[in-house]
Amino acid sequence: MNRYFHKELEEIRSKLILIGEKANEAGRLAVEGFIESDLEKTQAAVKMDDEIDDLEVEIDRASVRYITLRSPVSSDVRLIFVAIKASHDLERAGDEAHSIAKKTRTILTRDGKVKNPVEIEKMSALAFAMMRDAITSLLDENLELAQGIIKRDKEVDRINKENYTTLYNEMKGEHGDSSTHVETILISKSIERIADHAKNLAEEVIYLLTGE
Amino acid sequence: MPKSQHSFTSIRPKGEALVWFTGMGLSVGILLIIGLLGIILKNGLSMFWPDTIYEVQLVEGSTAGPRNGQNFAGAIALERHKRLQEATNAGLTSEFQFFAGNKDAYGQMYHYVDADQIVTDATGEPLFTPASGILQLERIEFGDALGFPLEIQLADGTTITEPEALKAALFKTIEESNERLETYTKIEKKQIGRINSKMESIRLEQRALREELGEAAAETSPQIQELNEQQAALQAQYTELAAEARELRERRHQDSLLLRLATGEERRISFENITQAHFPNEMSLPGKVGFFLKQIWRFMSEAPREANTEGGIFPAIFGTFVMTLLMSLAVMPFGVVAAIYLREYATQGVIVRAVRISVNNLAGVPSIVYGVFGLGFFVYVLGGSIDELFFSHKLPTATFGTGGVLWASLTLALMTVPVVIVATEEALSAVPRGMREAALACGASKWQAIQRIVLPASAPGILTGLILAMARGAGEVAPLMLVGVVKLAPSLPLDGEFPFVHLDRKFMHLGFHIYDLAFQSPDSDAAKPMVFATTLLLIVLVIVLNLSAITIRNHLRKKYKGDTF
Amino acid sequence: MSQTPETTNARADFEPFIQIKDNYNFWYGSTQVLFDMNLDIPEKQVTAFIGPSGCGKSTLLRSINRMNDLIEGIHHTGDITIADQSIYDPSLEVISLRKRIGMVFQKYNPFPKSIYENIVFSLRIAGRNKKSELDEVVERSLRGAALWDEVKDRLHESALSMSGGQMQRLCIARAIANNPEVILMDEPCSALDPIATGKVEELIHELKKDYTIVIVTHNMQQAARVSDRTAFFYLGKLIEYDVTDNIFMKPSNEQTEAYVSGRFG
């Protein structure tokens, strides 16, 4: 028997998907802004952060209300629990996108153009694919997909480490552009973080689906 | 707790003794009931069984038996140890009670014979040999006759003596004779009765006219003339019918049977006196069973004869049935309405409590008091007033101003109304409160809620009360003796004569019938089997009435079944 | 404990349909059971009365259709109005008042009649016996109570042959047969199993589209699930009355907080 308040649960779930989409979109815009030296995309990414924050608050509020008024149990209560945690992760992913965009803006306003010696594009493609898959696994309740995401985090970590080494070495050799290098290191780190949040989200989906 | 109980309970499990005690109480009760029913069943049913008739040979010099020492034939009714009048050295001797019939010849039907007066066989037991070919006749007068048929003489002069032909002719003649009886009874009761009632109404009209017109003028008035003509025509019809009936009667009277009694004398019995014949010693077992069932049926369907000691008890069964039914009809609405007011409308308080206690105590008032009240109030006051108002033309002959089935029913209804009130109150209070509230919440008025919901739901409980009331009412005798029961009622309270239900008629009742047979009968030996059989029927009637009420109740229960009850 | 009913915050944002007003007080004999009640109930919403046993919530509910009149020795001060008409108006007969108010009881109490006759009872007592009308009412009420599909083939069987949950829904169908404005429910699910309870709660959610519903419940989760507004009573006083979300998530009264969080007593 489906109860009328189960609709509220579905609303929470769709809000969760929505916040995921938005976080992913913000990250994509921020990275594209960096790679293409596109200030507009960067600005768009900065603006999205507020929407994401609002959505997180909405999800939290709806979750608490659902727990208080509907006394959920079993998979329902896991969904609420996952919603609270995942919305937090996604909000943090949004924050990382926000920070990428701000750093890109700093570089662009200072240099006019980003000179990028490292693998940001491939790395971000990997990270966003993870994030997209994590959201899809939540939407489709796809356990295998979620389990696959966790391993993929290693590759992102490795690229991040490479980027760091490359940039660090460059900074030791030439003494021209160290501030851009520091910002690029941080951007790389943010992308790595986004991948971490995608991994967390995947783990939460696994918890939602298996209860473990 | 007293000390003794402490030591008691320490030896045995607590309450064990009480369980045994209660069980014992129940067993004693059941044993008593089974014993009572057993006695009634055995004695009641044995009346219908064709007993073997034995030849009783008396020892030399005996003066016992119906003919002072002569051998005779009879059925053994009883064998018992004789209560010795004087101390003898013989010890205990037995005596037998024989049913020898032939009251007209012997003076009484039952005879006591000491065992030592009877010829014994080799082992010292009394010698009884079945009397072969003996005929038992049921007669309208003087009870049964026992004897050997010698010849039949018919009205047309034929005489039959050859044994086989005689047997056939005997049964045929009885059948024909019974048919004739039926015919002339019909003529006398129905046709002549109708003529009589017409004549009676004509007479009343004539009287009214004479009073109106004056004696002299009336004689010449055309109406009187016409009435006289009608009267003459009816008179002619009457004469014709009466002649026909007389002829049939005559014919029955002239057919006769010659019987030789076991004591030797010969007696001629007219067929008008014979209702049934059988050869008890020549009957097979199925034959006996058939005869037994037929006798039961005749007992239930025929009217009594010979001061109630012979014949059936149909009028009593019917009277009891009608009275109980009328009583139920009266007591049900009365009791239920009273209980509804008491439970649903009256403000619960001291007065209602007092009323309730009074009602309960009414159930404990001796029933004869109700009889006296019924006589004083219903018969004299109510009945008297009704007679004055509606039946003044019949006075001083009382119509309702004397005991009758209506007053008897009302008296018993009054007596049993406490039972119905108490049961109905219980049933009403057992209807869940939620059910009333639901009805009221639906917008029903209080009366609608009671009428449509509460009463149907409490119907099974109300019927239980009615069952109890019926059981008590049907078995009551004392008050009825004052308000309408008679030893012999000429007609039933319900018949084909307009207005079909005669509430003013006196009636017969099984309970009174038992009393009458047992204590008022001229021949108590002859009446004894009847007492038991009548008791049996009264019990059966009460059971049947109760069973039908229980069936209705169960039907209602099923209809209203559910866990809300 | 200062006992000013905190109802003002919940007022004015709706048009009241049932009003308990003028400091409604109620006595059984000399025992006062309701104290200074003022409460506005909105139309076509579910209002839940909660509180510990003996807090007066059932008494208040039964005051609304004057079911308490059956008890001897009651009296009251103050007034209750439904659509601005006082229920104590001497020109208003209590029977016609009850026809406007359906009631569902704690223990399902179908009449020992057929399913059909149960539903048309309120019409029959009003003298409406036209078969086509009755048939129509039966179908509408049973559909309204989500029972039609389950019983349409056995309308003339005894109502007592149904399951407990079905009987309670039949009682709801009976309550709506007369097209009332208000449905009062006195702990309608306390005798039902969770599945049947769920069905009845679903039904309440559906019914509020057409009827104003007041429900008394001991089950706080139930109040939270089905009601739009909740009133908390304690010792015959209205402690707090607000939209259900507020009562359960951020009650403004300490006693309410303690009661809904199970710390009471």
How far apart CA C151 and CA B350 sit, in angstroms, is 49
- The pLDDT of residue C40 is 92
Q: Over the stretch A25-71, which tens digit does the pLDDT of each residue have?
A: 999 999 998 888 888 899 999 999 999 999 999 999 999 999 988 88
Query: Which amino acid type is present at position B514?
Result: I
Paired tokens of B235? 């008179």
Cβ pair C67:B437 closer than 8 A: yes
Range in A207-211, B225-229, B495-499, C253-257 with the lowest mean pLDDT: B495-499
Task: Determine the pLDDT at residue C265.
Answer: 66
Say if the Cβ atoms of C112 and B559 lie within 8 Å: yes
* pLDDT over 90 percentage in chain A: 49
Average pLDDT over residues A104-123: 83
Q: How far apart are CA B25 and CA B14, in angstroms?
A: 19
Confidence (pTM)? 0.72
- Mutate one of C221, C243, C260 to test the A interface: name it (highest A CB count within 10 A): C221
Asked if residue B448 has pLDDT above 60, the reply is yes
Tell me what pLDDT residue C212 has.
93
Q: Note the pLDDT of residue B87.
A: 52
Average pLDDT over residues B288-298: 90
Closest CA to A187 of A106, A86, A109: A106
Q: Which residues of chain C have pLDDT under 70?
A: 1-12, 265
If one counts every other C-beta atom within 10 angstroms of the C-beta of residue A209, the result is 18
Mean pLDDT within B114-128: 80
**pLDDT (0 to 100) of residue C7:** 45
A133 confidence band (pLDDT: 50, 70, 90): very high
Mutate to test the interface with A, among C189, C197, C219, C225 (most CBs of A within 10 A): C225
Better-predicted residue by pLDDT, B369 or A3:
B369
**What pLDDT is recorded for position A12?**
92
* DSSP structure class, residue B88: -
A3/C198 CB distance under 8 A: yes
Render pLDDT for B400-431 as a digit per residue (tens, 0 to 9). 777 788 888 999 999 999 999 999 999 998 88
Domains and CATH numbers, chain A: 7-210 (1.20.58.220)
pLDDT at B129: 84
- Identify whether the C-beta of residue B104 lies closer than 8 Å to the C-beta of residue B261: no
B564 pLDDT band, cuts 50/70/90, is very low
Supply the ipTM of this predicted assembly.
Answer: 0.87
Residue B86's pLDDT band (boundaries 50, 70, 90)? low
Distance from CA of C95 to the nearest CA of B (A): 5
A110 Cβ under 8 Å from any chain C Cβ: no
Calculated CA dihedral for residues A101, A106, A111, A113, nearest 10 degrees: 10
Q: How confident is the model at residue A94 (pLDDT cuts 50, 70, 90)?
A: very high
pLDDT band at B561 (very low <50, low <70, confident <90, very high): low
Give residue B139's pLDDT: 85
Q: Which residues pair with B259 in a beta bridge?
A: B149, B267
Closest partner CB to A68 (pick from C195, C201, C249): C249
- In the prediction, which pLDDT does B312 show? 83
Which residue has tokens 């108590």? B524
And the tokens for B296? 């039961």
DSSP state of B2: -
pLDDT digits (tens, 9 = 90+) for B210-230: 877 777 777 777 888 888 888
Q: How confident is the model at residue B147 (pLDDT cuts 50, 70, 90)?
A: confident
End-to-end CA distance of chain B: 39
- From C205's Cα to the closest Cα of chain A, the distance in A is 8
Fold for B318-508, please state it: MetI-like fold (1.10.3720)
So what's the pLDDT on residue B530? 85
Give the model's pLDDT for residue B213. Answer: 77
| A52 Cα distance to chain centroid | 11
Question: How far, in Å, CA of B537 to CA of B474, rounded?
Answer: 12
Taking CB atoms and an 8 Å limit, are C199 and A1 in contact across chains? yes
Question: Mean of the per-residue pLDDT values for chain B?
Answer: 83
Please give the mean pLDDT across all residues of chain A. 89
Cα separation, A194 vs A149, whole angstroms: 13
Residue A9 distance to chain C (closest CA, Å): 13
Contact flag B434-C107 (C-beta cutoff 8 Å):
yes
Residue from A61, A69, A74 to probe the interface with C (highest C Cβ count within 10 Å): A69
The confidence score (pLDDT) of residue B560 equals 66
**Which of B286, B266, B328, B333 is CA-nearest to residue B474?**
B328
Q: Which residue has the higher pLDDT, B222 or B440?
A: B440
The nearest alpha carbon in chain C to B438 belongs to C109
Q: What is the predicted pLDDT for the residue at B128?
A: 84
What percent of chain B stands above pLDDT 90?
11
What is d(CA C119, CA C175) in angstroms, rounded to the nearest whole number? 8
C-alpha A170/C-alpha A157 separation (Å) is 20
A4 touches chain C (CB under 8 A): yes
If pLDDT is split at 50, 70 and 90, which confidence band does B93 have?
confident
Mean pLDDT within B100-127: 82
pLDDT, residue A91, reads: 93
At B89 the pLDDT is: 56
User: Domain extents for chain B?
Assistant: 54-148, 155-254, 318-508
| Residue C111 with chain B: CB contacts under 8 Å | 435, 438-439, 452-453, 457
Do C228 and C46 touch, CB atoms closer than 8 A?
yes
> Within 10 Å of residue B284's Cβ, how many Cβ atoms?
8
Answer whether B113 touches C (CB < 8 Å).
no
pLDDT range class, residue B31, cuts 50, 70, 90: very high
**Residues from chain B contacting residue C65 (CB–CB below 8 Å):** 441
Please check whether residue A74 touches C, CB under 8 A: no
**A129-143, B85-99, B200-214, B532-546: which is most confident:** A129-143
pLDDT tens by residue, B152-165 = 888 777 888 888 88
Chains with ≥3 CB–CB distances under 8 Å to B: C
- Under the banding of pLDDT at 50, 70 and 90, the label for residue B13 is low
Average pLDDT over residues B97-105: 85
- Are the CB atoms for C168 and C188 separated by under 8 Å? yes
